[in-house]
């Protein structure tokens, strides 16, 4: 078998595998279950689509049609954001950190008051 597509996530990989199967190409998704793993694994880019070597050329045509039908990304991809260490944090990240700190402070104050 040959890998013909590296998907951004498991959903995209399964969708593309279904598209290939609608075209009569037997496709297999590998690596999609690794996205939930903890540790040094990246959060995306693990899921890939594999086909038989005989179907590689036809599958690449189907994939090219799929990619041509997708809108261009509006901002940097996840991989680009990960590779930019100096990139400023987003508003949601700041809000999460602020909420976490407030929650920890309130929790500690409540525990001190109860004891």
Q: What is the pLDDT along the chain (115 residues), one digit of tens a residue?
A: 898 988 888 888 999 999 999 999 999 999 877 766 545 555 556 788 999 999 999 999 999 998 888 887 676 665 665 555 555 566 777 788 889 999 999 999 999 999 8
* In a shared domain, residues 54 and 7: yes
Q: Is residue 79 part of a domain?
A: no
Are residues 39 and 6 part of one domain?
yes
Q: What pLDDT does residue 10 have?
A: 85
The total domain count for the chain is 2
pTM: 0.56
Domain containing residue 6: CATH number: 3.30.70
The Cα-based distances of 9 to 48, 102, 109 in angstroms read 9, 33, 41
Together in a domain, 29 and 61: yes
Q: Based on the fold, state whether residues 57 and 102 are members of the same structural domain.
A: no
Q: Is residue 58 part of a domain?
A: yes
Q: Identify the domain containing residue 65 by its residue range.
A: 2-69
């Amino acid at each position: 078998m040959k890998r013909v597509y590296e998907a951004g996530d498991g959903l995209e990989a399964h969708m593309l595998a279904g598209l290939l199967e609608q075209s009569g190409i037997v496709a297999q998704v590998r690596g999609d279950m690794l996205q939930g793993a903890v540790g040094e694994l990246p959060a995306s880019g693990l899921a890939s689509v594999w086909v038989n070597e005989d179907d590689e050329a036809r599958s690449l045509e189907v994939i090219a049609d799929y990619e041509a039908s997708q809108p261009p990304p509006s901002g940097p991809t996840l991989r680009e954001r990960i590779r930019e260490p100096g990139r400023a944090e987003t508003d949601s990240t700041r809000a999460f950190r602020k909420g976490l700190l407030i929650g920890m402070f309130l929790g500690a104050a409540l525990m001190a008051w109860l004891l």
